[in-house]
Amino acid sequence: MAKHIVIVGGGLAGTIVANGLCRQLGDELRSGEVRITVLGNTDKHMYQPGLLYVPFGKIRESELFRDQRKVLDRRATFHIDAVANVDVDANRVTCESGKTYDYDYVVLATGSRIRPDQIPGMEEGAHWFYDLEGARKMREALRDFEGGRIVVNVNVPHKCPVAPLEITFMLYDYLNAKGLMDKTEITYTYPIGRLHTLEPVANWAAPEFDKFGIKSETFFNTKEIDPAAKTITSEEGSTREYDMLVAIPPHTGAQVILDSDLGAGGWVPTERETLLREGSTNVFVVGDTTNIPISKAGSTAHFEADTIIDNLASLVMEGHWARNYDGKVFCFVETGMNSGTYVWFNYTTPPNPGPPSQMLHWFKLAYNRLYWLSARGLL
Amino acid sequence: MAERTKIDARGAFCPGPLMELIAGLKLIEVGDEIEIWSSDKGSAKDIPEWVAKVGHEMVGVEQCEGYDSIVVRKAK
């Protein structure tokens, strides 16, 4: 009887796991000892970090997408059939079509989603760039913007933790190039008492904000937005006026996780080193889907996926565990339209970003293309 | 009886203990508690500061081996 590995989710994490397993389990797939099934909800794979460039017209929308069947290794069976339920006691996944898949191992890679609906007034009153529709609307709003008060408003939890700072610096560069900064005020709000949760990044950003005249308000957790009055109010009791609001909406996990009762908020309780669901020995969790207190970011998903590939392949081939995840995260940080830096850390090594440079900005631009090699498991 | 949810944020550099606490508070009912473990020495100061500012309640801070255990009650 073939061992069946089911991967729920065809985003970056699920795709890397599938491709890596196909590479490591080539003989077993050929002999029929192993089957790999990927269940996704779309035939398109989107490069999500590219959304950052959409509002500024710096990337073509077509560059964001590839055909998921071409990104996935052909040895994996791919079905476009969103998963409706995961029964971890019965080792069975049920799709919206009604089809069921029994598994020996399952990898939960269902990701996260923005939830502007969770804050009163946000859907009507804010722009965002965390999905394509929002990024398009923001592009149109920026094109028509003639000056005024812009508030960049960061909410919890959110993925890609450096994106709020990136969009702020890019907004400054974009509006400065259009000659609008002399009649524009940019204010950045952040939930905790500094500009970024990573202290070295916050310490770097503060003087940069001063240099560009970007204002900030910390300890700002959004309570509500009044789209008619164009005001935003925090749980801490502060109200700000805006002409254009750029929000990083709060996120939740996928509905299927909630519907399957696998974790509050759609985040699956996960052991931080094994990446196994707490209480399970055959349920792996990867990327944004975990509740591990670590950045929800593509690089996290990538490094976690590499660990799961090694362990799943080892378990299937030889019946033993290979290695633990060390918490590694690596993120490029755009510090403007022409400069960038990077930061990396793990569970035991604190972050220490280097000085921004144009070269690092070019590396990030190069990675925007190299991403597709990562997704294919080649990088 | 208040329910208590534990968050082990030891070694969490990003998003960090306070952000984890804020996210966790969104998932519990008013009157319930979060016990967060943090190895960031700043948490014992940052978390009570934010809790006071936003209007939740500090239940206590306990120093443990290599980390602080901080308990917060959701008040609104």
Domain with residue A312: its CATH number is 3.50.50.60
Q: Is A129 in contact with A54 (CB distance < 8 Å)?
A: yes
pLDDT given for residue A378 in this prediction: 76
Those residues with Cβ within 8 angstroms of residue A26's Cβ, 6 or more apart along the chain or in another chain: A75
Chain A residues closer than 8 Å to B29 by CB: none
Contact: A345, B13; criterion CB under 8 Å: yes
A144 CB neighbour count, 10 Å cutoff: 7
Least confident of A148-162, A209-223, A326-340: A326-340
* Model confidence pLDDT, tens digit, residues B10-39: 988 888 999 999 999 999 999 999 999 999
pLDDT given for residue A371 in this prediction: 86
Domain presence at residue A379:
no
Those residues with Cβ within 8 angstroms of residue A275's Cβ, 6 or more apart along the chain or in another chain: A284, A285, A286, A290, A304, A307, A308, A311, A325
Q: How far apart are CA A9 and CA A15, in angstroms?
A: 8
pLDDT given for residue A363 in this prediction: 87
Mean pLDDT computed over A50-79: 96
Q: Is A193 in contact with A158 (CB distance < 8 Å)?
A: no
Instruction: Point out the domain boundary residue: A189, A221, A249.
Output: A249
* Chain length of chain A: 379
Same-domain pairing of A122 and A189: yes
Domain limits at A68?
A: 3-111+254-329
Nearest residue on chain B to A235, alpha-carbon basis: B54
Cross-chain CB nearest to A351 (options B7, B9, B13):
B13
Cross-chain CB nearest to A193 (options B11, B27, B49):
B49
pLDDT given for residue B42 in this prediction: 87
Q: How far apart are CA A65 and CA A295, in angstroms?
A: 24
Q: Is B64 a catalytic residue?
A: no
| Count: domains in chain A | 2
Q: Which residues of A touch B (CB under 8 A)?
A: 156-157, 161, 191-193, 197-199, 219, 221, 235-236, 250, 264-265, 272, 293-295, 327, 329, 345, 347-348, 350-351
* CATH numbers and ranges of domains, chain B: 4-73 (3.30.110.40)
Q: Which of B14, B55, B63, B76 is catalytic?
A: B14
| Min Cα separation A162/chain B (Å) | 10
Same-domain pairing of A120 and A163: yes
Contact: A351, B7; criterion CB under 8 Å: no
Domain presence at residue A28:
yes
| ω into B15 cis (within 30 of 0) | yes
Mean pLDDT computed over A87-94: 98
pLDDT given for residue A266 in this prediction: 98
Contact: A192, B26; criterion CB under 8 Å: no
pLDDT given for residue A351 in this prediction: 86
Same-domain pairing of A67 and A120: no
ipTM of the complex model: 0.93
pLDDT given for residue A315 in this prediction: 97
Contact: A156, B53; criterion CB under 8 Å: no
Q: Is A372 in contact with A68 (CB distance < 8 Å)?
A: no
* Model confidence pLDDT, tens digit, residues A239-293: 999 999 999 999 999 999 999 999 999 999 999 999 999 999 999 999 999 999 9
Contact: A295, B15; criterion CB under 8 Å: yes
Q: Which two tokens stand for residue A92?
A: 């069975």
H or E segment and range at residue B71: strand B67-73
Q: How far apart are CA A165 and CA A151, in angstroms?
A: 12
Reported for A79-85, long-range contacts at CB under 8 A and 24+ positions apart, including other chains, are A79/A37, A79/A38, A79/A39, A79/A40, A80/A40, A80/A41, A80/A42, A80/A43, A81/A39, A81/A41, A82/A39, A82/A40, A82/A41, A82/A256, A83/A8, A83/A9, A83/A39, A83/A110, A83/A256, A84/A256, A84/A259, A85/A256, A85/A259, A85/A260
pLDDT given for residue A375 in this prediction: 84
Domain presence at residue A346:
no
Tokens 């208040």 label which residue? B2
